[in-house]
Chains A and B, each alone.
Chain A
Amino acid sequence: MAQNKILLILQREYLVRVRKKSFIIMTILGPFLFAALFILPSYLLSLSNDELKTLAVIDSTGVFTGIIPETRTLRVRYLRNTSVEEVRAGFDTSGYYALLYIAPSIHNVPSAIQLMSYKQPNLAVSMHIANAIEKEIEKQKLKTYNIDNLDHILQSVKTQVQVRSIKWTRDGKEKSGHAGVAMGVAYLCGLLTYIFILLYCTQIMRGVIEEKSSRIIEVIVSSVKPFQLMAGKIIGIALAGLTQFALWIMLTIVVLMVYKHFAMPSVTEVLQQQPAQNLFSNSTLQPQQMITSSDFQDIFSAVVAIDFLVIGCSFLFYFLFGYLVYGSLFAAVGSMADTETDTQQFMMPVTIPLGIALLVMLSTIYNPDSGLSFWFSIIPLTSPVVMMARIPYGVPYWQVTLSAVLLIASFFFFTWLSARIYKTGILMYGKKAGIREFFRWIKS
C-alpha cells in the first residue's frame, strides 16, 4: 500500500512537469541550443572570413613595403607621398578597413607601429600584421650576420611539431588520447552534472513550497506519510529530468545529423576518406598539406577513443545520486520556508558544497589526479561534479568504488535527516525557523 501511494504521488509529479509548457519548450529548444554550441562558432568564423578588408599602409621606412602577405580576405595597399592626416581626412570615402603606420624608429622601438581605424581593428588582422613584420625584422637582423644561403637554410630548418598523447593502459595496449578533447569532455561532464543537479533540485524545493503555500499539504499528509510524499516528489521529478535528457540526446543527434547532412558534407567526406586507423602511419606525410585533416583526425580519433559507455553510465549514476542527495536537502529547505524568498538563508549551506564542487571542477579539468581533485571526488557532496570531471581521463576503479559507496551512504543519511526536518517543517507557518529550530526538528 505504501509503495502504491508513492507511485501515485510520483505519477502526479511526473505528469504535472512533463505536461508543463516550459518543459515542452525547453525540451524542443534544448537540442538547438546544444547544437548551436557546436555549430555557431564555425558558422561565425565563416561569416567573418567572407568580408574583404583593405588595409592601407604608410611605410615611412620604405623597407616593409610588400612584406605583409595578402589573404583571401585581406588586401594591402601601400600608399606613397601621403600623410596620416591626409588619409584620415578621406578615410570614410576611401573604403579602407584600417590604416597601418610604420614609424622610422621601428628597428629600435617595437611599438612604433600603429594600426588606426574608426572601428576597433580585428585581433586576427593585427596579429597577422605583427607576425609579418616580426619575421621581416628577424630576417633583416639575420642578414646582418652575412650568412651564405640564408634563405635556403631558413627554409630547411622550418619545422612543425605536433604532440600526440598516447595513453598506456595496464593491459599493455596504447590508447591515443587528445588532451584538449579529454579536457573538453571533462568540463562538459562536470558542468552538466552541476547544472542538472541545481536545476532539478530547485524544482523539488519549489514543489514543496507550492504545496505549503497553497495549503494542500495538510490534506495530503492526512492520506499519506510525509516521507512518502517527499520520496514520491523526488523520484517523480528525477524521472521527468531523465525523460528530458533522453529527449535532448535523441533530438540533439537528429539536429546534428541534419546539419551535417545539409551544411557540412565535407566533414563526412573527410571522415570517410581517412579512417582513424591511418593515423599512425601518416606521421611521415608533408606537414603543411596535412595539417588540417590530421588535426581533425586527431580530435576525431580521440573522441572515438573516449569510452562513451563508461561516461554515460557514470553520468547517470553521479547525476542520479547527486540529485537524490541534494534533492532531499532541497526538500528540507523548502519545508522550512513559507515562500521562495524565505529560502535564501537555508539555501546557503546547501548550495555552498555545490559551488565548491564547481570551483574544484574547474581545476580538476587541468589536474585530474591532484590531491585536491582526488579528495573532492571522494567527499559525497562534491563528488558527483568533481568525479564526473575526472572520469574522461580515466580513474582507478577503487577510487570510483569508494566515491560511489560514500555517495550512496550519504544518500541514506541525508534522506533520513531531511525527512525529519521535512515532516515538521511542512506544518509550520509564519514562524521563521532558525538554527535552533533546525536542530530541534531533527531531534523530534
Chain B
Amino acid sequence: MHIVSARNITKSFDGNTVLDKVSIEVPTAGIYGLLGPNGAGKTTFLRILNKILIPDSGQLFFKDEPYTLVNLHSIGYLPEERGLYKKMKVGEQCLYLARLKGMSGHEAKQKLNDWFEKFNLQSWWTKRVEELSKGMQQKVQFITTIMHDPDLLILDEPFSGFDPVNASLIKTELLNYRQMGKTIILSTHNMNSVEELCDEITLIDHGKVLLQGNVQMIKKSCSKNIIEICCRGNIPDQLLPTIDGCRVLHSVTNSESFTIVINVIDGEHGNRLLQLYAEKFQVLSFKILLPSMNEIFIDAVKAGNKSSDYGTE
C-alpha cells in the first residue's frame, strides 16, 4: 500500500512552472527523502501534500483513496520556516494546535504530557514561547507536529536550525517513529542524513524528477566500479599486480598496511584483480566503493542542468 501517491502533479506560479508532472509513490512505513537543490520545488510539493496549495493538474491519493481534507488529521507538517505564536503560553499553544488537528482537549493534554516529559519541557508549560531559546522552540514545534500521532509526518528541512544534540534527538525520534510503522517524508539538503535515514528518495530539480527509488539500488546503479583493497605490510617496491584496463586512482600507506583504490571495468574484473592480490599479499579487506549520496546528488543535478541547457538551445 502507498500512503501517498502523487500523479503528474503540475503547478505554476505566474507562468513559471515550479512542478512539472511530478509523480511520487510513497510506500507505507519508512522514511522517504525528497531531495533537490534550492528552488527545485520541494517546498511547493510538500505544501501541495498538505493541501495548502492546490495543484494545477494531477491527482493525489492518500492510502490509495482520493485525498480529502479529513486526511489532514493524519498528517503532521513541519514547515521549513518554523513559527509559533510568540505571546502565547507553550502548553496552551500546543493544546490549540492539537485541537485544530482534530484531537479532543483531554486526549491532547495526555499526549502532550508524555511528550513534554520525554523532551524535558514540563517546567515550560506556562512560559510564553518568546521566553524560550531557539532550540527549545524547535523542540516544541516538533512536538506540535507529531503529538496527534499522524500516520504521515511531512518535514521540510527538519534538521536546519537544530544544534547537533537536538538534531540527533530528532533523528532518534524519527527512527522510532518508523519502527512504529509510520511514514515520514522529509526534504533536505543534508545528504548524510539521507544515507542515515532514508529508505527511498526522489531527487527533483527545476520541477522535474531526476532520480527516484531505493537508496541502495540507486547507489549500486550509480556505481563507477571502484574497488578498494587493503593488505598487510608495506607497499612493495616491485610493480603491483595489474590487469589491462585497470587504473590505480590512489594509494595510502599506514605503518602496518596499505590501501589501494582502483578503477576497474566491471565486477568480474575486480574479482580477478582480487585473486592476483591475494596470491602476493595478505588481503585485509576488499570493498566495492559506492558513490555517496552527495556525489550522486551533484552529478544528477549537473547532468540535469546540462540536458535542460541543450533542451533550451
Q: Cβ of B86 and Cβ of A214 under 8 Å apart? A: yes
Nearest B residue to A5 via CB reads B100
Q: Are A216 and B51 in touch, CB under 8 angstroms?
A: no
Query: Is A218 a contact of B83 with CB atoms below 8 Å?
Result: yes
The number of inter-chain residue pairs (CB within 8 angstroms) is 59
Specify the main secondary structure of chain A where it touches its partner: helix
Q: A16 within 8 Å of B by Cβ?
A: yes
Cβ of B251 to closest chain A Cβ, rounded Å:
51
Q: Which residue of chain A is the closest to B79 with respect to CB atoms?
A: A218
Assuming the contacts A16-B88, A214-B84, A222-B50, asked whether A8 and B79 have C-beta atoms less than 8 A apart, the reply is no
The answer to whether A427 and B82 have CB atoms under 8 Å apart is no
A220, CB-defined interface residue at 8 Å:
yes
Q: Is B244 an interface residue (CB 8 A)?
A: no
A12 lies within 8 A of B96 (CB): yes
> Do B14 and A8 have beta carbons less than 8 Å apart?
no
Q: How many residues of A contact B (CB 8 A)?
A: 23
- Residues A222 and B83 in contact in the complex (CB < 8 Å), given A8-B99, A8-B100, A12-B96: no
Q: Which residue of B lies closest to A214 (CB)?
A: B83
| Interface residue ranges of A209-235 to B (CB < 8 Å) | 210-211, 214-225
Complex interface: chain A residues within 8 A of B51 (CB) = 222
Interface residues of A in 195-218 (CB under 8 A from B): 210-211, 214-218
Q: Is B297 interfacial (CB 8 A cutoff)?
A: no
A224 to B14, CA, bound (A): 25
**B235 near A: Cβ within 8 Å?**
no
* A107 on the B face (CB < 8 A): no
Is B81 interfacial (CB 8 A cutoff)?
A: yes
Given A215-B79, A222-B50, A224-B100, decide whether A440 and B88 contact each other with a Cβ distance below 8 A.
no
Q: Does B101 contact A (CB under 8 A)?
A: yes
Chain B residues positioned under 8 Å from A211 (CB to CB):
85
- Closest B residue to A216 by beta carbon equals B83
For residue B43, give the distance in angstroms from its CB to the closest CB of chain A: 10
B97 partner, pick from A16, A217, A219, A427, beta carbons under 8 A: A219
| B residues 1-21 in Cβ contact with A at 8 Å | 14
Question: Does B177 interact with chain A (Cβ within 8 Å)?
Answer: no
CB neighbours of A210 from chain B (8 A): 85
**Distance in Å: Cβ of A36 to nearest Cβ of chain B:** 31
With contact pairs A222-B51, A223-B72 given, residues A215 and B87 touching in the complex (Cβ less than 8 Å): no
What is the bound-complex CA distance between A64 and B244, given in angstroms? 136
Q: What is the size, in residues, of chain B's interface with A at 8 Å between Cβ atoms?
A: 28
The answer to whether A223 and B83 have CB atoms under 8 Å apart is no
Is A222 within 8 A of B72, CB to CB?
A: yes
Write the chain A residue with the least CB distance to B156: A218
In the complex, the chain A residue whose C-beta lies closest to that of B129 is A214
B102 proximity list for chain A (CB < 8 A): 1
Q: Whole-angstrom distance from the CB of B290 to the nearest CB of chain A?
A: 37
Query: Could you tell me the distance between the alpha carbons of A211 and B85 in the complex, rounded to whole angstroms?
Result: 7
Docked CA distance A325–B88 (Å): 28
Cβ contact within 8 Å between B96 and A215: no
Q: How would residues 11 to 44 of chain B score, 1 for a CB under 8 Å from any chain A CB and 0 otherwise?
A: 0001000000000000000000000000000000
**Contact between A222 and B85 (Cβ–Cβ < 8 Å)?**
no
Q: For the complex, what is the distance from the CA of A91 to the CA of B264, rounded to whole Å?
A: 117
Question: Which chain A residue lies CB-closest to B148?
Answer: A223
Interface membership of B62, Cβ < 8 A? no
Known: A222-B50, A427-B52. A215 touches B82 (CB 8 A): yes
| CB-nearest residue of chain B to A8 | B99
In the complex, chain B residues whose CB is within 8 Å of the CB of A214? 83-86
Are B52 and A16 touching (Cβ within 8 A)? no
- Residues B81 and A218 in contact, CB atoms below 8 Å apart: yes
Q: A219 and B77: CB pair below 8 A?
A: yes
How many angstroms between the C-alpha atoms of A222 and B102 in the bound complex? 12
Shortest beta-carbon distance from B149 to chain A in Å: 15
Query: Of residues B52, B79, B141, which shows the largest number of chain A Cβ atoms within 10 Å of its Cβ?
Result: B52
User: Which residues in B have some Cβ–Cβ distance to A below 8 Å?
Assistant: 14, 47, 50-53, 69-70, 72, 75, 77, 79, 81-88, 96-97, 99-102, 141, 144
Q: Can you name 12 A-B pairs with beta carbons within 8 Å?
A: A1-B70, A5-B100, A8-B100, A9-B100, A16-B88, A214-B84, A216-B83, A216-B85, A218-B79, A223-B100, A224-B100, A429-B81
Q: List the 3 closest A-B pairs by CB distance, nearest first.
A: A215-B83, A223-B100, A218-B79
- Known pairs A221-B52, A222-B75; list 20 more (Cβ under 8 Å): A1-B70, A1-B102, A16-B88, A216-B83, A216-B85, A218-B52, A218-B79, A219-B77, A219-B83, A219-B84, A219-B97, A219-B141, A222-B50, A222-B52, A222-B79, A223-B97, A224-B100, A225-B69, A427-B52, A440-B14
Binding site for B on A (CB under 8 A): 1, 5, 8-9, 12, 16, 210-211, 214-225, 427, 429, 440
